[in-house]
Amino acid sequence: MSTPPIPRDDILAEAGLPASGHGRVLLIACGALAREILALKAGNGWDHLDLTCLPANLHLWPDRIPAAVEDAVLRHRDQYDNIFVVYADCGTGGLLQAKCADLGVDMVPGPHCYSFFEGNEAFAAQSEDEFTAFYLTDFLVRQFDAFVWRPMGLDRHPELRDMYFAHYDRLIYQAQTDDPTLDAKARDCAARLGLRYERRFTGYGDLAPALAAL
């Protein structure tokens, strides 16, 4: 069986992926997780899982995520026996968890993707030692300019860097894959932010067992 093509991240950030089936398990996911979910599906033969993605740039407005998830659930729930939301809290202040509970659907546990990629227990255990760390995932390394540099205005006002990152001392790249090109780009991201660089291979963390349980 051939592996489905991996869509470009810039497309995911704008449009997402269409759902592809009926009467199965639908994953409603953040577009920033599409590559990882498709890789896990292909690698484990999880053909019973269908995927639809909401735009990754919703993370720029976390307050919009619960309503977007609700709309997706309501649009698709009649076509599926089970729906699973592949978002963590993601800055919604518990509103997404409450919305999922109201809709009767489960979601990935954890405060954000940095936590579940690391493993929620491990991330919580080391959080006190890493509160001055700025995290990037594979997706954010690829999309650093679109999701970090430009939204923070650093392309127009680079002098803001010292104000934004005055209390950070390092950039931790949580690598889902072993990719020298991404490693080099992550190093460059750290240099642009004036932070010490640290790479940590996390793989898919808690995302893999959460999907396996479906």
Q: Which residues of the chain have pLDDT under 70?
A: 1-23
- The pLDDT value recorded for residue 184 is 98
- Nearest residue to 159 via CA among 125, 194, 119: 194
- The pLDDT value recorded for residue 44 is 97
Distance CA(84)–CA(51), nearest Å, equals 10
Domains and CATH numbers, the chain: 9-108 (3.40.50), 118-201 (no CATH)
The amino acid that residue 167 corresponds to is H
- The pLDDT value recorded for residue 1 is 41
Distance CA(127)–CA(48), nearest Å, equals 36
- Nearest residue to 207 via CA among 133, 104, 138: 138
As given in the structure block, the two tokens for residue 185 are 């780009």
Token pair 């699973």: residue: 84
Whether the Cβ atoms of residue 30 and residue 20 lie closer than 8 Å to each other? no
- The pLDDT value recorded for residue 127 is 87
Whether the Cβ atoms of residue 7 and residue 56 lie closer than 8 Å to each other? no
Distance CA(15)–CA(121), nearest Å, equals 33
- The pLDDT value recorded for residue 26 is 97
